Structure 1
Amino acid sequence: MRKSSILGRMSAAAAAAVLFASLGSGPAAAHGGAADVVRTDAGPVRGAVTDQHREFLGIPYAAAPVGDLRWASPQPVTPWTAPRDATRPGKRCAQLPLPPYLGGESEDCLYLNVTTPRRARAGLPVMVWLHPGGFTAGSGTETAPARMAVQGGVVVVTINYRVGVLGFLDLPALDSGLARHRSGNFGIEDQQAALRWVQRNARAFGGDPGNVTIFGQWSGGRSVCVQLAAPGAAGLFHRAITMSNPCTLNDVPKPDGSLDPEPLGLPRPRAQAEARGMAFADAAGCAEAHTVAACLRAKPADELLAHAEYLVFTPVYGGGGVLPDDPIEALRSGHVNRVPVLLGVNQDAYRTSDAFLEAYGYPPLTAEGYADRVRNMVGPAHVDRVLARYPLERYGVPSLAWSALATDALLARPLVDTKDILTAARIPTYAYEFADANAPWYANTPLPSFPTGSYQDAEVQYLFDTSYFAGRRLTPAQRRLSDTMIGYWTRFARTGDPNGPGLPYWPRSDPRRDTALRLAPGPGGIRPVDFGGEHSAGFWRAMS
């Protein structure tokens, strides 16, 4: 589900609505001890050490992509010799404002952050977080992973990568020079550059470069799917977790409920991406083919962003390059990096869309509007059948009925399909459903007129402290769920199996059953359920 899924290509405000000492050369630094200075392959960094964890912020993993390096593949950093201050995060990548995510102000933004337990033994699992934001917004600094690192005994790396038009512009004029591949996937190349940094430097922080998990939510989850399909990512990670974006998800509704032929926030074919790139260049005043690259590189970043649409500059596939094939087709054909996968969605994910619409002044969805959306989504031949399956009387509020229908059709069914593909290929797979009906709402957005339930994004605050949930507090029962989720995620990172001592049993996915582990607080809240049956996966499969 996209936060923009029911806004289409509206104004910026509307699009936003639907989506927040001494050098460490001795054994302590080499083996992840409590030293505040660690040697990286480019130079030493001095971080901060607390009673429980060490934190190293704002470490450059690639040169600043500015000037001639704008729309270039990531280049090596210039080494340094004196300890570099690593107590403050690097700047966020330049980006359009897209609440709840914070704004970005700089093209000099290719930085990462490393958090470890205070006294980490050598060989800890490494978990690399790929942030959400629809490939348009977000940063690695919006998540603070200290609790995950300490409780789970892992090294957590959060990264910035180029987003929006600066990360995913596709133009033939940018296909040469310092672009190692074709244009359109510089943000994906940034992610791979960060993973190569992890391979070179994990041991210095107490991590194991042979045990790296990539994980992400929303577009971060789709980034995980992209890296599974990317030949250049082979060997850079060994487990994968995709949250709220199963890899076969490929449909996003427009404001009227009809499915967008060019879905926002998803990877797109090269021909479509190039057409959009040329339209952008023309809008920016750089229409001459022989000067377009130089013209665009001469423009200030804020001027480029002013001409960029939301959620349309996304990873590009086909025609060679970083993604030679559609990632969905690569998954179906088995041409993927074969690693254990953990995946899941939120029970009430699509409530986020209507909630953000209300927050920005749109009237609540009406009964008539609900029926119209359903008709536009499934067509007049099927509307009665679908409305009978999701009668408004059952839910009471049109937005709740629409959320149930859209979550089932556009998220739950793709999760089942993705699970089936992975398990048929004998890839170890574990599926979950996050289902806390009382998850705290965003800190910077008013509550809508209906219960938000286990909405899109809600699960992130159970793994991290985040800027867009700042000040929110989990109840004791929710905190126990959070502890259990951290246990599952980090155990999976350690062994490829989330099960471990003190954790309720999580059955491995089976192609013969559509079971998932429900994650909810309270007695019996964590248990296997018939996910496919409860979300009408068979009904929606028969509709296609």
Structure 2
Amino acid sequence: MKKFKKIATLSATLIFITTLTSFKNTTTKAYANHNKYKYTGTIDQATKYGTVEGLVDSNTNTLQWLGVPYAKAPIGSLRWKAPQDLSSWTGIKDAKKFGNVATQLDSTGKNVIGSEDCLYLNIWRPNTKEKNLPVLLFAHGGGNITGSGASFQGDILANRTNSIVISINYRLGAMGWFLNDAVKDGNKLDDSGNYGLLDIFKSLDWVNKNISDFGGNPDNVTLSGQSAGARDVIASLISPLSKGLYEKAMPMSGGMTLTSTDEGKNFSNQMIEKLLVKQGKALNEADAAKWIKNQSKSQLNTYLKSVDSKELVSLYGSVAIKMNPFPHLYKDGYVIPKDGFNEIKKGNYNNVPIIVGSMSNEFTLFSATDPYFGGSVLNQSIFNDPTKSKIYTDSIYYGSKLYSGFNADNVADLIASSNKKDNGIYAYRCGWGTQDGVITNNTKYFAAAHGLDIDLITGHYNMGNYFSGFYTDANKPGRDSLGTVMDSYLKNFLYTGNPNGNKLTKWGTWQTSNKKARIMKFDATTNTSLTSMSKEHLVKQDIIDEMNSSLPKNERDIIVNSLFNGRFFWQY
């Protein structure tokens, strides 16, 4: 990993960071692509609940059904309930455009968009008559507080892998993760507070029951996700409710994060107190706490159900940049075991073949917008201050090692330590953009950044919408080659649970011995892909030891206390 030099046009190119993991730009781009494509016709498809009308896409030679409901709308009495089976419909339901996104703050953090009626999925498959195709279901990122399935377009990927690709919406923020005694009804699913995770399970249940109608194999489903979606995938491994819903997993840049029920309850109470003050029902939070205490369970339930979802999600703010998540993924003892990821050590988990992935420079975007630097990175004044500039580049270097290790190595190590069946654990680290000459100097800070592997795998290069010099005609042959190679491995994995195949560099399973290669390195020059196995092993304590021996104490303290403190890769 290289430390970076001054960037001449940094202020213009950094604008995109604040929205990279949020809804607005990636989803807007998806809608724009959808609108500009030319479609040659429509296609009706029956499901167990009714018929949906999708599109024939002549641009990518795929069939697609967008905005297909997979559960009842979680509105009214179904707010903060486990997702319910759909009711059947008559006639033909339109599935030619993306469904409502979940209620969330937009990229400015000021406006609320979306709807509680958000449980929709999108399906892409090759325009062939082939049946029994493997299925990839993807959960989007965004801190479990922003995002949409529309940001993950599966048309190119479906053709490259000859599979069915599905992206989903699920409940977010206060609507997807809410733990409060007032809304409990004695039903263990409803009382778990893990509504977003249950939505993901419900989408898998829908796939199991309906995907054969679309030519898919319900017994060959891979659950994937990126960032927060990947954390949900990893959490699903220890949920007893996930067993039998999928056969393989592929979390991308998502580590292991869970929350105690006490933390969840305390957080919800704090949010309710803030809401009461905001609404003028209490003078301050202490006064609001008294108001809550004086309400019966029924009264508080009625009040909470009456609050507009837009008010609720706005209280949770945006965690896309700080990477310090609000409490969610509760260890309720039913959906998620009380003992959390220790269940893996005991062998009590969904032991399926798995690919865990990360980017080489996971922390670069997050450091650039950290409050510690104020606007000094954006206006480039930081480079006039040698001390602060060094703190900036060192935070990227060590933060990326920590975050990348948290996302991949830490997960692989834990699973490998108790993998009794030896089902296969594969890991990768993607470094696209770090090779000399691949991207221009003014975009070097974004090489191998968090989320870039999604662009390579899907063939939709969304990062290129934010600034020039990142995706260019010159580096197109190399990145297209890398994307094709990554999807060749993925195709094999979707079909067999093993990514290896003819003419591909041998991808070995994760090894606990430091003497053996354990992780696949994906990269590319301007012209061709680069793949190789590596012994690299990013372990938190080793990185801390390197920081202690290499950095002056005052700089280390600033990086740890101001830039790393509170982030989940530092807390575990």
For 1:65 and 1:224, locate their aligned partners in 2 and report how far apart those are by CA, in whole Å: 22
103-112 vs 65-74, greater mean Cα deviation: 103-112
* 1:498-509 aligned within 5 A: 498-509=499-510
CA contact (8 A) 1:269 1:326 kept: no
For 2:394 and 2:545, locate their aligned partners in 1 and report how far apart those are by CA, in whole Å: 20
User: Aligned to 1:45, which of 29, 44, 52?
Assistant: 52
CA contact (8 A) 2:192 2:332 kept: no
CA contact (8 A) 2:72 2:119 kept: yes
Residue 485 of structure 2 is aligned to residue 484 of structure 1: yes
Q: Secondary structure at the match of 1:307?
A: helix
Q: Report the Cα offset of residue 421 of structure 1.
A: 2.6
Residue 268 of structure 2 is aligned to residue 277 of structure 1: yes
Residue 446 of structure 2 is aligned to residue 452 of structure 1: yes
The 3 A distance-change label for structure 1 pair 175 and 465 is farther
CA contact (8 A) 1:130 1:217 kept: yes
For 1:538 and 1:177, locate their aligned partners in 2 and report how far apart those are by CA, in whole Å: 43
CA contact (8 A) 1:462 1:482 kept: yes
Q: Report the Cα offset of residue 229 of structure 1.
A: 1.0
CA contact (8 A) 1:16 1:97 kept: no
For 2:272 and 2:461, locate their aligned partners in 1 and report how far apart those are by CA, in whole Å: 34
For 1:164 and 1:158, locate their aligned partners in 2 and report how far apart those are by CA, in whole Å: 19
Q: Which amino acid aligns with 1:190?
A: D
The 3 A distance-change label for structure 1 pair 538 and 72 is closer
Q: Secondary structure at the match of 1:336?
A: coil
For 1:456 and 1:466, locate their aligned partners in 2 and report how far apart those are by CA, in whole Å: 15
Q: Report the Cα offset of residue 501 of structure 1.
A: 2.4
Which residue does 1:469 correspond to in 2? Answer: 463
The 3 A distance-change label for structure 1 pair 230 and 172 is same
1:266-311 deviation digits (Å, cap 9, x = unpaired): 4311111111111112222272342222111111122222322434
* 1:44-83 aligned within 5 A: 44-51=51-58, 52-83=61-92
Q: Report the Cα offset of residue 494 of structure 1.
A: 1.1
User: Aligned to 1:245, which of 250, 254, 257?
Assistant: 254
Q: Report the Cα offset of residue 466 of structure 1.
A: 5.5
Residue 345 of structure 2 is aligned to residue 349 of structure 1: no
The 3 A distance-change label for structure 1 pair 342 and 519 is same
CA contact (8 A) 2:360 2:404 kept: no
The 3 A distance-change label for structure 1 pair 18 and 152 is closer
The 3 A distance-change label for structure 1 pair 174 and 466 is farther
CA contact (8 A) 1:246 1:344 kept: no
The 3 A distance-change label for structure 1 pair 542 and 297 is same
Q: Secondary structure at the match of 2:351?
A: coil
The unaligned stretches of length 5 or more in structure 2 are 1-14, 23-40, 277-290, 320-324, 436-440, 466-470, 547-571
The size of the alignment, in residue pairs, is 468
User: Aligned to 2:341, which of 325, 328, 331?
Assistant: 328
For 1:139 and 1:401, locate their aligned partners in 2 and report how far apart those are by CA, in whole Å: 33
Q: Secondary structure at the match of 1:277?
A: helix
Q: Report the Cα offset of residue 175 of structure 1.
A: 2.1
Which residue does 1:296 correspond to in 2? Answer: 304
Q: Report the Cα offset of residue 81 of structure 1.
A: 1.9
User: Aligned to 1:200, which of 186, 192, 209?
Assistant: 209
TM-score by length of 1: 0.78
For 1:140 and 1:181, locate their aligned partners in 2 and report how far apart those are by CA, in whole Å: 24
User: Aligned to 2:520, which of 497, 517, 520?
Assistant: 517
Q: Report the Cα offset of residue 184 of structure 1.
A: 1.7
For 1:206 and 1:485, locate their aligned partners in 2 and report how far apart those are by CA, in whole Å: 24
* 1:174-323 aligned within 5 A: 174-176=183-185, 180-247=189-256, 266-285=257-276, 287=292, 288-290=295-297, 291-311=299-319, 312-323=325-336
111-120 vs 191-200, greater mean Cα deviation: 111-120
Which residue does 2:542 correspond to in 1? Answer: 539
CA contact (8 A) 1:358 1:448 kept: no
Q: Secondary structure at the match of 2:223?
A: strand
Q: Secondary structure at the match of 1:437?
A: coil
Q: Report the Cα offset of residue 114 of structure 1.
A: 0.8
* 1:404-415 aligned within 5 A: 404-412=397-405, 415=408
Q: Report the Cα offset of residue 86 of structure 1.
A: 0.7
The 3 A distance-change label for structure 1 pair 524 and 140 is closer
CA contact (8 A) 2:72 2:86 kept: yes
Which residue does 1:173 correspond to in 2? Answer: 182
CA contact (8 A) 2:42 2:55 kept: no
CA contact (8 A) 1:124 1:153 kept: yes
**Alignment identity in percent?**
24
Q: Which amino acid aligns with 2:431?
A: A
The 3 A distance-change label for structure 1 pair 38 and 59 is same
Which residue does 2:414 correspond to in 1? Answer: 421
User: Aligned to 2:396, which of 399, 403, 407?
Assistant: 403
CA contact (8 A) 1:18 1:354 kept: no
299-308 vs 204-213, greater mean Cα deviation: 299-308
Q: Secondary structure at the match of 1:223?
A: helix
Which residue does 1:387 correspond to in 2? Answer: none
For 1:275 and 1:398, locate their aligned partners in 2 and report how far apart those are by CA, in whole Å: 35
CA contact (8 A) 2:425 2:509 kept: yes
Q: Which amino acid aligns with 1:500?
A: G
Q: Report the Cα offset of residue 349 of structure 1.
A: 0.8
Which residue does 1:127 correspond to in 2? Answer: 136
The 3 A distance-change label for structure 1 pair 527 and 358 is farther
For 2:21 and 2:167, locate their aligned partners in 1 and report how far apart those are by CA, in whole Å: 21
The 3 A distance-change label for structure 1 pair 319 and 477 is closer
Q: Secondary structure at the match of 1:527?
A: strand
User: Aligned to 1:84, which of 90, 93, 107?
Assistant: 93
For 1:19 and 1:53, locate their aligned partners in 2 and report how far apart those are by CA, in whole Å: 27
Q: Report the Cα offset of residue 96 of structure 1.
A: 1.6
1:401-434 deviation digits (Å, cap 9, x = unpaired): 2122122234326633322232231341111100
Which residue does 1:107 correspond to in 2? Answer: 116
For 1:448 and 1:463, locate their aligned partners in 2 and report how far apart those are by CA, in whole Å: 24
363-372 vs 58-67, greater mean Cα deviation: 363-372
User: Aligned to 1:529, which of 506, 509, 534?
Assistant: 534
1:182-205 deviation digits (Å, cap 9, x = unpaired): 232001110000000000011001
For 1:359 and 1:438, locate their aligned partners in 2 and report how far apart those are by CA, in whole Å: 26
* 1:384-403 aligned within 5 A: 397-403=390-396
TM-score by length of 2: 0.75
Which residue does 1:430 correspond to in 2? Answer: 426
CA contact (8 A) 1:61 1:194 kept: yes
For 2:143 and 2:86, locate their aligned partners in 1 and report how far apart those are by CA, in whole Å: 27
For 2:242 and 2:133, locate their aligned partners in 1 and report how far apart those are by CA, in whole Å: 21
For 1:104 and 1:212, locate their aligned partners in 2 and report how far apart those are by CA, in whole Å: 31
Which residue does 1:154 correspond to in 2? Answer: 163
For 2:315 and 2:122, locate their aligned partners in 1 and report how far apart those are by CA, in whole Å: 31
The unaligned stretches of length 5 or more in structure 1 are 1-12, 21-33, 248-265, 373-395, 440-446
Q: Secondary structure at the match of 2:263?
A: helix
Q: Secondary structure at the match of 1:526?
A: strand
